[in-house]
Structure 1
Amino acid sequence: MSSVLLLSCPDQQGVVAATAEFIADQGGNIVHAEQYVKREADADGGVFFQRVVFDLVRSDVTHESLLDAIRPLADKLDMTVDLRDSSTPIPTAIMCSKQGHCLYDLLTRWRSGEMPMDLRVVISNHPDHADIAGHMGVPFVHLPVTKETKPQQEAAVLATLAEYEVDLVVMARYMQILSDDFVSHYPMKIINIHHSFLPAFIGANPYRQAHERGVKLIGATAHYATADLDEGPIISQDTTHVSHRENVAELTARGRDVETVVLARAVRAHLEHRVAVHGHQTIVYN
Protein backbone atom coordinates (compact mmCIF):
# COMPACT_ATOMS: atom_id res chain seq x y z
CA MET A 1 0.00 0.00 0.00
CA SER A 2 1.29 3.46 -0.90
CA SER A 3 0.32 6.32 1.39
CA VAL A 4 0.69 10.09 1.48
CA LEU A 5 0.92 11.97 4.75
CA LEU A 6 0.24 15.71 4.76
CA LEU A 7 0.93 17.36 8.09
CA SER A 8 1.28 20.79 9.66
CA CYS A 9 2.17 21.89 13.18
CA PRO A 10 3.98 24.66 15.04
CA ASP A 11 7.61 24.68 13.95
CA GLN A 12 9.66 22.84 16.56
CA GLN A 13 12.72 20.66 16.88
CA GLY A 14 12.37 16.96 16.11
CA VAL A 15 9.25 16.89 13.90
CA VAL A 16 10.99 15.31 10.93
CA ALA A 17 12.69 12.71 13.09
CA ALA A 18 9.49 11.85 14.97
CA THR A 19 7.52 11.47 11.76
CA ALA A 20 10.18 9.28 10.14
CA GLU A 21 10.38 7.13 13.28
CA PHE A 22 6.61 6.68 13.32
CA ILE A 23 6.54 5.58 9.68
CA ALA A 24 9.42 3.16 10.26
CA ASP A 25 7.69 1.68 13.33
CA GLN A 26 4.64 0.98 11.16
CA GLY A 27 6.75 -0.87 8.62
CA GLY A 28 6.81 2.00 6.16
CA ASN A 29 9.56 2.90 3.71
CA ILE A 30 9.77 6.62 2.85
CA VAL A 31 10.19 7.18 -0.89
CA HIS A 32 9.76 10.97 -0.98
CA ALA A 33 9.59 13.77 1.57
CA GLU A 34 9.34 17.53 1.25
CA GLN A 35 8.91 20.17 3.92
CA TYR A 36 8.44 23.90 4.28
CA VAL A 37 8.40 26.33 7.19
CA LYS A 38 6.15 29.36 6.89
CA ARG A 39 7.37 32.18 9.07
CA GLU A 40 5.17 35.13 9.96
CA ALA A 41 6.88 38.51 10.25
CA ASP A 42 4.62 39.61 13.11
CA ALA A 43 4.63 36.34 15.11
CA ASP A 44 7.06 34.13 16.98
CA GLY A 45 8.08 30.83 15.44
CA GLY A 46 6.35 29.55 12.34
CA VAL A 47 4.27 26.74 10.91
CA PHE A 48 5.92 23.54 9.71
CA PHE A 49 4.46 21.71 6.70
CA GLN A 50 5.51 18.33 5.36
CA ARG A 51 4.43 15.85 2.71
CA VAL A 52 5.70 12.30 3.04
CA VAL A 53 5.14 9.52 0.52
CA PHE A 54 5.81 6.03 1.84
CA ASP A 55 5.17 2.38 1.02
CA LEU A 56 3.84 -0.08 3.57
CA VAL A 57 5.18 -3.62 3.44
CA ARG A 58 3.44 -5.08 6.48
CA SER A 59 0.14 -6.75 5.64
CA ASP A 60 -1.22 -6.20 9.17
CA VAL A 61 -1.01 -2.38 8.83
CA THR A 62 -4.07 -0.77 7.26
CA HIS A 63 -5.04 2.80 6.48
CA GLU A 64 -7.40 2.79 9.47
CA SER A 65 -4.78 1.43 11.86
CA LEU A 66 -2.33 4.10 10.67
CA LEU A 67 -4.83 6.83 11.50
CA ASP A 68 -5.30 5.40 14.99
CA ALA A 69 -1.55 4.95 15.54
CA ILE A 70 -0.60 8.50 14.55
CA ARG A 71 -3.03 10.23 16.92
CA PRO A 72 -0.71 10.24 19.98
CA LEU A 73 2.07 11.82 17.91
CA ALA A 74 -0.34 14.37 16.45
CA ASP A 75 -1.58 15.31 19.93
CA LYS A 76 1.96 15.61 21.28
CA LEU A 77 3.15 17.93 18.50
CA ASP A 78 -0.16 19.81 18.03
CA MET A 79 -0.18 18.40 14.54
CA THR A 80 -2.89 18.46 11.88
CA VAL A 81 -2.76 15.24 9.88
CA ASP A 82 -4.22 14.25 6.51
CA LEU A 83 -3.37 10.64 5.66
CA ARG A 84 -4.38 9.30 2.25
CA ASP A 85 -4.15 5.94 0.51
CA SER A 86 -2.65 7.06 -2.80
CA SER A 87 -3.62 3.80 -4.52
CA THR A 88 -7.32 4.71 -4.22
CA PRO A 89 -8.38 7.45 -6.70
CA ILE A 90 -10.62 10.22 -5.38
CA PRO A 91 -14.30 9.95 -6.46
CA THR A 92 -14.80 13.02 -8.64
CA ALA A 93 -17.59 14.92 -10.40
CA ILE A 94 -17.15 17.48 -13.16
CA MET A 95 -19.64 20.34 -13.45
CA CYS A 96 -19.91 22.33 -16.67
CA SER A 97 -22.16 24.66 -18.67
CA LYS A 98 -22.09 25.43 -22.41
CA GLN A 99 -18.34 26.02 -22.77
CA GLY A 100 -16.78 22.59 -23.14
CA HIS A 101 -13.04 23.16 -23.51
CA CYS A 102 -12.14 22.37 -19.89
CA LEU A 103 -14.53 19.41 -19.75
CA TYR A 104 -13.17 17.88 -22.95
CA ASP A 105 -9.59 18.34 -21.77
CA LEU A 106 -10.24 16.66 -18.42
CA LEU A 107 -12.14 13.79 -20.04
CA THR A 108 -9.29 13.16 -22.47
CA ARG A 109 -6.65 13.26 -19.74
CA TRP A 110 -8.74 10.92 -17.60
CA ARG A 111 -9.36 8.38 -20.38
CA SER A 112 -5.67 8.40 -21.31
CA GLY A 113 -4.69 7.62 -17.72
CA GLU A 114 -3.01 10.97 -17.20
CA MET A 115 -5.54 12.19 -14.63
CA PRO A 116 -5.69 9.75 -11.67
CA MET A 117 -9.29 10.31 -10.62
CA ASP A 118 -12.31 8.09 -10.14
CA LEU A 119 -14.65 10.07 -12.40
CA ARG A 120 -18.20 9.25 -11.31
CA VAL A 121 -20.46 11.76 -13.08
CA VAL A 122 -20.68 14.90 -15.24
CA ILE A 123 -23.33 17.42 -14.14
CA SER A 124 -24.45 20.33 -16.29
CA ASN A 125 -27.14 22.97 -16.39
CA HIS A 126 -27.19 22.53 -20.20
CA PRO A 127 -27.58 19.34 -22.28
CA ASP A 128 -24.85 20.23 -24.80
CA HIS A 129 -22.17 17.78 -23.67
CA ALA A 130 -24.24 14.68 -23.00
CA ASP A 131 -22.88 12.94 -26.12
CA ILE A 132 -19.20 13.34 -25.26
CA ALA A 133 -19.79 12.18 -21.68
CA GLY A 134 -21.65 9.14 -23.00
CA HIS A 135 -18.90 8.45 -25.53
CA MET A 136 -16.36 8.52 -22.71
CA GLY A 137 -18.50 6.22 -20.59
CA VAL A 138 -19.38 8.73 -17.87
CA PRO A 139 -22.95 9.25 -16.57
CA PHE A 140 -24.30 12.67 -17.57
CA VAL A 141 -26.91 14.42 -15.43
CA HIS A 142 -28.70 17.45 -16.88
CA LEU A 143 -30.06 19.77 -14.17
CA PRO A 144 -31.30 23.02 -15.74
CA VAL A 145 -31.51 26.11 -13.58
CA THR A 146 -33.16 29.51 -13.60
CA LYS A 147 -32.97 32.34 -11.12
CA GLU A 148 -36.25 31.17 -9.62
CA THR A 149 -35.30 27.48 -9.37
CA LYS A 150 -31.72 27.86 -8.14
CA PRO A 151 -32.33 26.51 -4.59
CA GLN A 152 -34.13 23.45 -5.93
CA GLN A 153 -31.48 22.86 -8.59
CA GLU A 154 -28.65 23.10 -6.08
CA ALA A 155 -30.45 20.61 -3.86
CA ALA A 156 -30.71 18.26 -6.85
CA VAL A 157 -26.99 18.71 -7.60
CA LEU A 158 -26.08 17.91 -4.00
CA ALA A 159 -28.32 14.86 -4.08
CA THR A 160 -26.59 13.69 -7.27
CA LEU A 161 -23.14 14.17 -5.73
CA ALA A 162 -24.24 12.19 -2.69
CA GLU A 163 -25.71 9.45 -4.88
CA TYR A 164 -22.39 9.01 -6.68
CA GLU A 165 -20.44 9.38 -3.40
CA VAL A 166 -18.32 12.21 -4.78
CA ASP A 167 -15.43 13.64 -2.76
CA LEU A 168 -14.09 16.23 -5.24
CA VAL A 169 -16.07 18.64 -7.42
CA VAL A 170 -14.39 20.25 -10.45
CA MET A 171 -16.08 23.33 -11.92
CA ALA A 172 -14.99 23.07 -15.54
CA ARG A 173 -16.40 26.47 -16.55
CA TYR A 174 -19.65 25.86 -14.69
CA MET A 175 -21.18 29.29 -15.13
CA GLN A 176 -23.26 29.42 -11.99
CA ILE A 177 -22.41 31.01 -8.65
CA LEU A 178 -22.60 28.39 -5.91
CA SER A 179 -24.39 29.34 -2.72
CA ASP A 180 -22.60 29.41 0.63
CA ASP A 181 -24.66 26.41 1.73
CA PHE A 182 -23.54 24.40 -1.30
CA VAL A 183 -19.87 25.21 -0.75
CA SER A 184 -20.13 24.28 2.93
CA HIS A 185 -20.85 20.65 1.94
CA TYR A 186 -17.44 20.38 0.22
CA PRO A 187 -14.93 22.61 2.05
CA MET A 188 -11.69 22.81 0.06
CA LYS A 189 -13.04 20.11 -2.23
CA ILE A 190 -14.46 22.30 -5.03
CA ILE A 191 -11.95 23.51 -7.62
CA ASN A 192 -12.93 26.42 -9.87
CA ILE A 193 -11.26 27.95 -12.92
CA HIS A 194 -11.58 31.50 -14.20
CA HIS A 195 -9.71 33.96 -16.34
CA SER A 196 -7.27 36.09 -14.39
CA PHE A 197 -8.89 39.30 -15.58
CA LEU A 198 -11.03 39.28 -12.45
CA PRO A 199 -11.82 41.70 -10.98
CA ALA A 200 -10.70 44.04 -13.79
CA PHE A 201 -12.92 42.47 -16.45
CA ILE A 202 -16.01 41.09 -14.75
CA GLY A 203 -19.27 40.00 -16.34
CA ALA A 204 -19.87 38.74 -19.86
CA ASN A 205 -17.27 38.65 -22.65
CA PRO A 206 -14.12 39.25 -20.57
CA TYR A 207 -11.85 38.62 -23.57
CA ARG A 208 -13.70 41.25 -25.59
CA GLN A 209 -13.21 43.68 -22.72
CA ALA A 210 -9.53 42.75 -22.60
CA HIS A 211 -9.17 43.25 -26.35
CA GLU A 212 -10.78 46.66 -26.13
CA ARG A 213 -8.30 47.65 -23.43
CA GLY A 214 -5.33 46.35 -25.44
CA VAL A 215 -4.00 43.95 -22.83
CA LYS A 216 -0.60 42.34 -23.43
CA LEU A 217 -0.94 39.50 -20.93
CA ILE A 218 -3.81 37.10 -20.28
CA GLY A 219 -4.04 34.20 -17.89
CA ALA A 220 -6.11 31.88 -15.72
CA THR A 221 -6.44 30.98 -12.06
CA ALA A 222 -7.58 27.72 -10.46
CA HIS A 223 -8.63 27.94 -6.84
CA TYR A 224 -10.76 26.30 -4.18
CA ALA A 225 -14.30 27.66 -4.09
CA THR A 226 -15.28 29.36 -0.84
CA ALA A 227 -18.11 31.56 0.38
CA ASP A 228 -16.08 34.57 -0.82
CA LEU A 229 -16.64 34.58 -4.57
CA ASP A 230 -13.42 33.94 -6.55
CA GLU A 231 -11.31 34.58 -3.46
CA GLY A 232 -10.57 31.01 -2.36
CA PRO A 233 -7.03 29.69 -1.89
CA ILE A 234 -5.18 29.63 -5.22
CA ILE A 235 -3.81 26.29 -6.42
CA SER A 236 -2.40 27.14 -9.85
CA GLN A 237 -1.98 30.12 -12.19
CA ASP A 238 -0.42 30.82 -15.54
CA THR A 239 -0.20 33.54 -18.17
CA THR A 240 0.61 33.99 -21.82
CA HIS A 241 1.69 37.07 -23.77
CA VAL A 242 -0.63 38.44 -26.47
CA SER A 243 -0.41 41.34 -28.87
CA HIS A 244 -2.46 43.91 -30.74
CA ARG A 245 -2.56 41.58 -33.75
CA GLU A 246 -4.98 39.12 -32.12
CA ASN A 247 -8.70 39.68 -32.51
CA VAL A 248 -11.31 38.73 -29.92
CA ALA A 249 -11.73 35.17 -31.23
CA GLU A 250 -7.99 34.57 -31.22
CA LEU A 251 -7.65 36.07 -27.77
CA THR A 252 -10.45 33.85 -26.50
CA ALA A 253 -8.79 30.74 -27.98
CA ARG A 254 -5.49 31.63 -26.35
CA GLY A 255 -7.25 32.18 -23.04
CA ARG A 256 -9.06 28.86 -23.21
CA ASP A 257 -5.77 27.07 -23.82
CA VAL A 258 -4.40 28.54 -20.60
CA GLU A 259 -7.59 27.72 -18.69
CA THR A 260 -7.45 24.02 -19.62
CA VAL A 261 -3.80 23.66 -18.61
CA VAL A 262 -4.18 25.53 -15.32
CA LEU A 263 -7.31 23.62 -14.30
CA ALA A 264 -5.74 20.27 -15.15
CA ARG A 265 -2.63 21.19 -13.16
CA ALA A 266 -4.70 22.15 -10.12
CA VAL A 267 -6.92 19.06 -10.27
CA ARG A 268 -3.91 16.76 -10.57
CA ALA A 269 -2.24 18.42 -7.58
CA HIS A 270 -5.34 17.79 -5.47
CA LEU A 271 -5.72 14.21 -6.70
CA GLU A 272 -2.09 13.48 -5.86
CA HIS A 273 -2.49 14.98 -2.38
CA ARG A 274 0.06 17.72 -3.04
CA VAL A 275 -1.98 20.67 -1.72
CA ALA A 276 -2.04 21.91 1.87
CA VAL A 277 -4.35 24.80 2.74
CA HIS A 278 -3.27 27.34 5.34
CA GLY A 279 -5.75 30.16 5.81
CA HIS A 280 -6.11 31.96 2.49
CA GLN A 281 -2.98 30.36 1.05
CA THR A 282 -1.90 27.00 -0.26
CA ILE A 283 1.34 25.08 -0.14
CA VAL A 284 1.57 23.09 -3.37
CA TYR A 285 4.29 20.46 -3.26
CA ASN A 286 6.19 19.42 -6.41
Structure 2
Amino acid sequence: MSAVLNCNITFIGGGNMAQALIGGLIARGLPATRITVSDPVEKVRELLAEKDVHVTDDNALAIRDADIVLFAVKPQVFASILKPLKGLLDGKLVISIVAGAEIDTISKILETDRIVRVMPNTPALVQTGAHGLFAYDAVDAQDRELASQVLASTGLTIWVKSEAQIDAVTAVSGSGPAYFFYMMESMIRAGKNLGLDEKVATALTLQTALGAAQMAITSSSSPAELRKNVTSPNGTTQAAIEVFDHAHISQNIQAALAAAQKRSQELAQDLSDSIK
Protein backbone atom coordinates (compact mmCIF):
# COMPACT_ATOMS: atom_id res chain seq x y z
CA MET A 1 0.00 0.00 0.00
CA SER A 2 3.01 2.29 0.37
CA ALA A 3 3.15 3.49 -3.25
CA VAL A 4 -0.38 4.85 -3.41
CA LEU A 5 0.10 6.69 -0.11
CA ASN A 6 2.44 9.07 -1.94
CA CYS A 7 -0.08 9.88 -4.66
CA ASN A 8 -2.56 12.70 -5.11
CA ILE A 9 -5.89 11.13 -6.06
CA THR A 10 -8.83 12.91 -7.65
CA PHE A 11 -12.32 11.46 -7.76
CA ILE A 12 -14.65 12.74 -10.45
CA GLY A 13 -17.95 11.95 -8.81
CA GLY A 14 -18.49 11.68 -5.07
CA GLY A 15 -21.26 9.10 -4.80
CA ASN A 16 -21.47 6.01 -2.62
CA MET A 17 -18.74 4.01 -4.36
CA ALA A 18 -16.35 6.95 -4.38
CA GLN A 19 -17.06 7.58 -0.71
CA ALA A 20 -16.35 3.93 0.08
CA LEU A 21 -12.99 4.10 -1.70
CA ILE A 22 -12.13 7.40 -0.05
CA GLY A 23 -12.92 5.98 3.38
CA GLY A 24 -10.89 2.86 2.65
CA LEU A 25 -7.87 4.83 1.44
CA ILE A 26 -7.91 7.13 4.45
CA ALA A 27 -8.25 4.14 6.78
CA ARG A 28 -5.16 2.62 5.15
CA GLY A 29 -3.09 5.73 5.71
CA LEU A 30 -3.57 8.03 2.72
CA PRO A 31 -3.71 11.60 4.07
CA ALA A 32 -7.10 13.15 3.36
CA THR A 33 -5.30 16.23 2.06
CA ARG A 34 -4.04 14.13 -0.87
CA ILE A 35 -7.63 13.50 -2.02
CA THR A 36 -9.70 15.84 -4.18
CA VAL A 37 -13.32 15.22 -5.11
CA SER A 38 -15.23 17.02 -7.83
CA ASP A 39 -19.00 16.75 -7.68
CA PRO A 40 -21.76 19.08 -8.89
CA VAL A 41 -23.97 18.48 -5.85
CA GLU A 42 -23.31 20.88 -2.98
CA LYS A 43 -24.56 18.48 -0.28
CA VAL A 44 -22.15 15.80 -1.50
CA ARG A 45 -19.27 18.26 -1.38
CA GLU A 46 -20.23 19.36 2.13
CA LEU A 47 -20.37 15.74 3.31
CA LEU A 48 -16.96 14.94 1.85
CA ALA A 49 -15.43 18.14 3.19
CA GLU A 50 -16.12 16.77 6.66
CA LYS A 51 -13.51 14.09 5.89
CA ASP A 52 -10.98 16.91 5.28
CA VAL A 53 -10.62 16.11 1.57
CA HIS A 54 -10.50 18.91 -0.99
CA VAL A 55 -13.80 19.47 -2.79
CA THR A 56 -14.79 21.40 -5.90
CA ASP A 57 -17.29 21.39 -8.74
CA ASP A 58 -14.58 22.18 -11.31
CA ASN A 59 -13.33 18.95 -12.89
CA ALA A 60 -10.41 20.56 -14.72
CA LEU A 61 -9.21 22.20 -11.52
CA ALA A 62 -9.66 18.97 -9.58
CA ILE A 63 -7.36 16.94 -11.83
CA ARG A 64 -4.62 19.56 -12.19
CA ASP A 65 -2.27 18.20 -9.50
CA ALA A 66 -3.52 14.60 -9.52
CA ASP A 67 -1.36 11.53 -10.04
CA ILE A 68 -4.44 9.29 -10.26
CA VAL A 69 -7.87 10.31 -11.57
CA LEU A 70 -10.76 7.99 -10.79
CA PHE A 71 -14.04 8.43 -12.63
CA ALA A 72 -17.07 7.37 -10.59
CA VAL A 73 -20.05 8.84 -12.43
CA LYS A 74 -23.22 7.59 -14.09
CA PRO A 75 -22.78 6.26 -17.66
CA GLN A 76 -25.34 8.70 -19.06
CA VAL A 77 -23.25 11.75 -18.06
CA PHE A 78 -19.81 10.24 -18.71
CA ALA A 79 -19.33 11.66 -22.21
CA SER A 80 -20.23 15.20 -21.14
CA ILE A 81 -17.71 14.95 -18.30
CA LEU A 82 -14.90 13.47 -20.39
CA LYS A 83 -14.97 15.80 -23.40
CA PRO A 84 -13.92 19.02 -21.58
CA LEU A 85 -10.96 17.11 -20.10
CA LYS A 86 -9.54 16.11 -23.49
CA GLY A 87 -5.76 16.37 -23.45
CA LEU A 88 -5.59 17.22 -19.74
CA LEU A 89 -4.83 13.72 -18.43
CA ASP A 90 -1.29 13.41 -19.80
CA GLY A 91 1.00 11.86 -17.18
CA LYS A 92 -1.89 10.72 -14.99
CA LEU A 93 -3.23 7.24 -14.32
CA VAL A 94 -6.93 7.03 -15.17
CA ILE A 95 -9.17 4.54 -13.36
CA SER A 96 -12.78 4.15 -14.48
CA ILE A 97 -15.48 2.39 -12.51
CA VAL A 98 -18.15 3.63 -14.93
CA ALA A 99 -20.34 0.71 -16.00
CA GLY A 100 -20.10 -0.07 -19.70
CA ALA A 101 -17.33 2.42 -20.46
CA GLU A 102 -14.78 0.61 -22.63
CA ILE A 103 -11.13 1.63 -22.58
CA ASP A 104 -10.97 2.51 -26.29
CA THR A 105 -13.94 4.84 -25.89
CA ILE A 106 -12.31 6.64 -22.96
CA SER A 107 -8.91 6.73 -24.66
CA LYS A 108 -10.20 8.37 -27.83
CA ILE A 109 -11.74 11.22 -25.87
CA LEU A 110 -9.02 11.80 -23.28
CA GLU A 111 -6.07 11.10 -25.60
CA THR A 112 -4.32 8.86 -23.08
CA ASP A 113 -3.63 5.13 -22.89
CA ARG A 114 -2.96 4.92 -19.13
CA ILE A 115 -6.43 3.64 -18.36
CA VAL A 116 -7.59 0.89 -16.00
CA ARG A 117 -11.18 -0.29 -16.27
CA VAL A 118 -12.80 -1.65 -13.12
CA MET A 119 -16.07 -3.42 -12.37
CA PRO A 120 -16.63 -3.04 -8.62
CA ASN A 121 -19.56 -4.24 -6.57
CA THR A 122 -21.60 -2.77 -3.76
CA PRO A 123 -20.13 -4.77 -0.84
CA ALA A 124 -17.24 -2.32 -1.24
CA LEU A 125 -19.44 -0.09 0.90
CA VAL A 126 -18.60 -2.40 3.83
CA GLN A 127 -14.99 -3.10 2.71
CA THR A 128 -15.82 -6.57 1.34
CA GLY A 129 -16.06 -5.76 -2.35
CA ALA A 130 -14.91 -7.87 -5.28
CA HIS A 131 -13.38 -5.83 -8.08
CA GLY A 132 -12.48 -7.02 -11.58
CA LEU A 133 -9.73 -4.97 -13.28
CA PHE A 134 -8.39 -4.82 -16.84
CA ALA A 135 -5.83 -2.70 -18.67
CA TYR A 136 -4.01 -2.88 -21.98
CA ASP A 137 -0.23 -3.13 -22.28
CA ALA A 138 0.14 0.67 -22.20
CA VAL A 139 -0.46 0.41 -18.46
CA ASP A 140 2.78 -0.80 -16.88
CA ALA A 141 3.30 -2.92 -13.78
CA GLN A 142 3.71 0.12 -11.54
CA ASP A 143 0.39 1.60 -12.67
CA ARG A 144 -1.33 -1.76 -12.27
CA GLU A 145 -0.06 -1.97 -8.72
CA LEU A 146 -1.32 1.53 -7.98
CA ALA A 147 -4.76 0.65 -9.33
CA SER A 148 -4.78 -2.55 -7.27
CA GLN A 149 -3.91 -0.61 -4.12
CA VAL A 150 -6.69 1.92 -4.69
CA LEU A 151 -9.35 -0.77 -5.14
CA ALA A 152 -7.93 -3.09 -2.46
CA SER A 153 -8.88 -0.45 0.10
CA THR A 154 -12.43 -1.82 -0.16
CA GLY A 155 -12.01 -5.49 -0.99
CA LEU A 156 -10.63 -8.16 -3.30
CA THR A 157 -8.98 -7.22 -6.61
CA ILE A 158 -8.80 -9.62 -9.56
CA TRP A 159 -7.12 -8.81 -12.89
CA VAL A 160 -8.78 -10.40 -15.92
CA LYS A 161 -7.08 -11.33 -19.19
CA SER A 162 -9.28 -9.45 -21.64
CA GLU A 163 -11.67 -6.52 -21.59
CA ALA A 164 -14.43 -8.83 -22.81
CA GLN A 165 -14.13 -10.67 -19.50
CA ILE A 166 -15.27 -7.53 -17.69
CA ASP A 167 -18.76 -8.39 -18.95
CA ALA A 168 -18.42 -11.80 -17.28
CA VAL A 169 -17.20 -10.10 -14.09
CA THR A 170 -20.26 -7.88 -14.26
CA ALA A 171 -22.50 -10.94 -14.45
CA VAL A 172 -20.77 -12.83 -11.63
CA SER A 173 -19.75 -10.23 -9.05
CA GLY A 174 -21.01 -6.88 -10.31
CA SER A 175 -24.63 -8.02 -10.25
CA GLY A 176 -23.88 -10.92 -7.91
CA PRO A 177 -24.91 -9.31 -4.61
CA ALA A 178 -28.47 -9.00 -5.92
CA TYR A 179 -28.60 -12.75 -6.57
CA PHE A 180 -27.71 -13.50 -2.96
CA PHE A 181 -30.18 -10.89 -1.71
CA TYR A 182 -32.82 -12.59 -3.85
CA MET A 183 -32.00 -15.93 -2.23
CA MET A 184 -32.15 -14.31 1.20
CA GLU A 185 -35.57 -12.82 0.41
CA SER A 186 -36.84 -16.25 -0.60
CA MET A 187 -35.46 -17.97 2.50
CA ILE A 188 -36.93 -15.33 4.81
CA ARG A 189 -40.30 -15.66 3.10
CA ALA A 190 -40.12 -19.44 3.39
CA GLY A 191 -39.20 -19.21 7.06
CA LYS A 192 -42.27 -17.07 7.71
CA ASN A 193 -44.45 -19.54 5.81
CA LEU A 194 -43.07 -22.30 8.04
CA GLY A 195 -44.15 -20.44 11.16
CA LEU A 196 -41.11 -18.34 12.14
CA ASP A 197 -41.36 -14.68 13.08
CA GLU A 198 -39.90 -12.40 10.40
CA LYS A 199 -37.11 -11.19 12.69
CA VAL A 200 -36.15 -14.76 13.53
CA ALA A 201 -36.27 -15.88 9.89
CA THR A 202 -34.19 -12.86 8.87
CA ALA A 203 -31.56 -13.33 11.58
CA LEU A 204 -31.17 -17.03 10.81
CA THR A 205 -30.95 -16.41 7.07
CA LEU A 206 -28.38 -13.62 7.26
CA GLN A 207 -26.15 -15.43 9.74
CA THR A 208 -26.35 -18.60 7.66
CA ALA A 209 -25.33 -16.66 4.54
CA LEU A 210 -22.42 -15.08 6.41
CA GLY A 211 -21.33 -18.41 7.87
CA ALA A 212 -21.54 -20.25 4.56
CA ALA A 213 -19.46 -17.55 2.85
CA GLN A 214 -16.83 -17.65 5.60
CA MET A 215 -16.65 -21.44 5.39
CA ALA A 216 -16.25 -21.32 1.61
CA ILE A 217 -13.51 -18.68 1.87
CA THR A 218 -11.50 -20.35 4.62
CA SER A 219 -11.98 -24.01 3.72
CA SER A 220 -9.69 -25.99 1.45
CA SER A 221 -12.81 -27.74 0.13
CA SER A 222 -14.78 -26.46 -2.85
CA PRO A 223 -18.33 -25.17 -2.45
CA ALA A 224 -19.56 -28.37 -4.10
CA GLU A 225 -17.69 -30.47 -1.54
CA LEU A 226 -18.98 -28.35 1.34
CA ARG A 227 -22.52 -28.82 0.08
CA LYS A 228 -22.07 -32.58 -0.14
CA ASN A 229 -20.67 -32.65 3.39
CA VAL A 230 -23.93 -31.33 4.83
CA THR A 231 -26.20 -33.33 2.53
CA SER A 232 -26.85 -36.58 4.38
CA PRO A 233 -28.54 -39.39 2.40
CA ASN A 234 -32.31 -39.21 2.79
CA GLY A 235 -31.92 -36.20 5.11
CA THR A 236 -33.56 -32.79 5.21
CA THR A 237 -30.90 -31.09 3.10
CA GLN A 238 -31.17 -33.73 0.39
CA ALA A 239 -34.94 -33.22 0.30
CA ALA A 240 -34.39 -29.51 -0.38
CA ILE A 241 -31.62 -30.07 -2.94
CA GLU A 242 -33.81 -32.50 -4.86
CA VAL A 243 -36.44 -29.77 -5.21
CA PHE A 244 -33.75 -27.40 -6.51
CA ASP A 245 -32.53 -29.99 -8.99
CA HIS A 246 -36.06 -30.80 -10.17
CA ALA A 247 -36.60 -27.08 -10.83
CA HIS A 248 -33.26 -26.88 -12.71
CA ILE A 249 -32.03 -24.15 -10.37
CA SER A 250 -28.36 -24.58 -11.37
CA GLN A 251 -29.15 -24.32 -15.08
CA ASN A 252 -31.39 -21.31 -14.46
CA ILE A 253 -28.64 -19.55 -12.53
CA GLN A 254 -26.24 -20.13 -15.41
CA ALA A 255 -28.82 -18.79 -17.86
CA ALA A 256 -29.39 -15.75 -15.66
CA LEU A 257 -25.69 -14.90 -15.59
CA ALA A 258 -25.46 -15.34 -19.35
CA ALA A 259 -28.34 -12.87 -19.69
CA ALA A 260 -26.54 -10.41 -17.41
CA GLN A 261 -23.36 -10.74 -19.47
CA LYS A 262 -25.27 -10.13 -22.70
CA ARG A 263 -26.94 -7.05 -21.25
CA SER A 264 -23.56 -5.73 -20.10
CA GLN A 265 -22.28 -6.07 -23.66
CA GLU A 266 -25.33 -4.25 -25.01
CA LEU A 267 -24.98 -1.39 -22.53
CA ALA A 268 -21.30 -1.00 -23.41
CA GLN A 269 -22.19 -0.77 -27.10
CA ASP A 270 -24.96 1.74 -26.38
CA LEU A 271 -22.55 3.92 -24.39
CA SER A 272 -19.90 3.70 -27.09
CA ASP A 273 -22.44 4.68 -29.77
CA SER A 274 -23.69 7.63 -27.71
CA ILE A 275 -20.19 9.03 -27.28
CA LYS A 276 -19.14 8.78 -30.93
In which range does the TM-score fall when normalised by the shorter chain?
Answer: 0.3 to 0.5
Normalization by structure 1: what TM-score?
0.35
Normalization by structure 2: what TM-score?
0.36
Q: Which structure features the higher share of strand residues?
A: 1
